[in-house]
Amino acid sequence: MLSLSTKLSSALSWTTRSSPPLHIGVGATSISPPLRWQKCRLLSRGISSSCDVDFTHAFPTVKLGTRHNSLPSFLAAIKENQKSNDAETVELSTLIILTNMQRRGILLGRKLRGFGTGKFNGFGGRLESKDIDLTPAHGAQRELREEANIFIPSVDSFKPVGNLTFTFQDNASKMKVHLFHVDVMFQEDASFDSHDTNTRNGIASGVVIDPNTIKGCDEMIPQWFPWSEIPLQQMFMDDSVWLTYFLSSLHGRERGGCHDNKIMKMDGWFHFAPGGDSENQIQHYFLDT
């Protein structure tokens, strides 16, 4: 079997001025043509179009439910119809945005079982007890090693982005996700990249890894994607909101300060329609940037 860094290397003609192309990894699947082009600036509140990134496969805005301009507005909207439960269950978990800024790539995993089977997602999972996961960052470190065989030695490399909170129309449970960003650099590029722009403007400097050691588990198959080809219509619908916004922010900052440091922190609230992952439909959301 070809390695993760070489399989289908000829499939991409996409390049950047300062770096070699990203190679698609194991488990590549065909992606249906997009319904339309979607600009990531749709949530950017006045950010210059020079910071735009085209996310070819994003869900159209009209399918993303009602966007609220404040948290009270969002909470009032979901309170009207949400199933109530005095003993509300809150599940705490982690999620990692793992990028290669130099190659404009993101590592995702295709779920093989459990919630979201068949969908692509970031790496992460439920937080364990304090004796296993001392902090959410330690939980993210553990999950990344278990699901993709990537060991990042320092939890300081897991940059906290914010929290995502998920509620459900037909379920009183709530999911709170601690969101982290880790930027990596391939060993083969490390010497090439001594003056790369991703070390400026507060962007993660890139933890050096060997891409050939990346491998999946019985739950996830890792795969690299260029940002413009992220299979958002094969992911949970909320990713078309917050993930595109976050990557847009990274792109803008690298382009010369289009975003300040505050833009890299965000919290999101998403309320899903009945039907769970099979329906994958947002009813209401609020993104606080």
Give the 3-state DSSP-derived string for 130-192, with helices as H, strands as E and coil as C: CCCCCCHHHHHHHHHHHHHCCCCCCHHHCEEEEEEEEEECCEEEEEEEEEEEEEEEEHHHHCC
pLDDT tens sequence across 171-203: 888 999 999 999 999 988 776 544 444 443 334
pLDDT of 253 strictly over 70: no
Q: What pTM was computed for the model? A: 0.78
Sign of the Cα pseudo-torsion (11, 15, 21, 27, in order): negative
pLDDT tens sequence across 118-158: 999 999 999 998 889 899 999 999 999 999 999 999 999 99
pLDDT tens sequence across 1-60: 444 444 333 333 333 333 444 444 543 333 222 222 233 333 333 333 345 678 889 999
> Considering the chain, what is the average pLDDT of its residues?
77
Q: Which helix (H) or strand (E) holds 9?
A: none
Q: What pLDDT sits at residue 223?
A: 96
CA angle 120, 271, 74 (to 5 degrees): 135
Q: What pLDDT sits at residue 29?
A: 32
CA angle 152, 195, 264 (to 5 degrees): 55
